Structure 1
Amino acid sequence: MNRSLANRDVKTQILDIAQSTMGNRGFSAVGLNEILKAAQVPKGSFYHYFESKEAFGVALLERYFSRYLAELDELLASSDERSAVSRLMRYWQRWVETQSGHDLQSRCLVVKLGAEVSDLSASMRQVLENGTDRIIERLTRELTRARQNGEMADDGDARELAASLYQMWLGASMLAKVTQNDSPLQSALSTTRRLLDQD
């Protein structure tokens, strides 16, 4: 195995373990020693991959958004769903499934880390802002397509609706953590159906 591939594998292993651990407990509560021990990587070699814990956090969030956006693009390009609204509803339904389950790799890092790291690190906050903007852009495009296809009423600003929906789902995810049940997510799903003229 060549050295660059080995380095990438080790870096990926560190980030995989960090995503599940920090997705469960947060950024500040998890020490580097814990992650490196779980990844079976010597502590001294951490700085070969990341300049600091903050740079590590930036890399973690960048990778999270890269994967999330790729999955969202695939879902919205799916030919299995014939309408833009049905593709959007599938996205929200998947949100309910992933955020109410026990798979730590699927937890929304925006919900888990957003408030915490935005106060700790300007660079991590910037990654969060850029990533969420790109999600809202994709939702805006799909809402615009739905309106153009006559699937929903063509009134109001599509980006404003996309941002409002995304913000509602972030809030619902936070409340689902507080209440330890998926009722807030189910409520968000019902409201989304209504806003997309699906009731």
Structure 2
Amino acid sequence: MHDPEGSEYDRLFYPFLFEGGKASIEDVLAQVRHSTLEKCREVIALRRATLEQSGRQIVAAGQAMAQAFAKGATLLAFGNGGSTTDAQDLVAELINPPFPGWSSLPAIALTNDIAVVTAVGNDVGFDNVYARQVIAFGRPGDIAFGISTSGNSTNVIVAFEQAKKQGLLTVGLAGYDGGKTMRSSAVDFCILSPS
């Protein structure tokens, strides 16, 4: 039921609607439609920019990953903050493909075991939370897939360095200018998504 005085949420996210003290449901819905359309435009523009900037890297990384999977590779995914959930979603899509007839691919999100993450973080340091798991799980020919919005996440870079030492294919997904991930010799492919 619509509250003509506006909920706390409405007042927080649409304050301009309450300059006169009340908002009509029509005004709120119009603003929601407008902001949804603007967000869709932003997403489309970002995807276009990513394809223009990193299209060749995406194809090359995809081909290298397909070859690795064909040889029995497991993908190890990791990231920080929101990138943690992106890594988990990538693994979910590989294990449970969204399209009928697609085969599951072996993948592990190194972000999932909070006991391991906190034990390594406490005992060895947060910079090593993924590298220690790469040591434990990574085999030559496997895939290390790290995600960092800034491209500068130290624990992601350290994991790439360890993965490279162990003979894993390394693929990074980074925002902005790619940061250290883009410049690291430990990263075979860096897909840049200018966010």
TM-score by length of structure 1 reads 0.26
| Higher relative helix content | 1
Higher-Rg structure is 2
| Higher relative strand content | 2
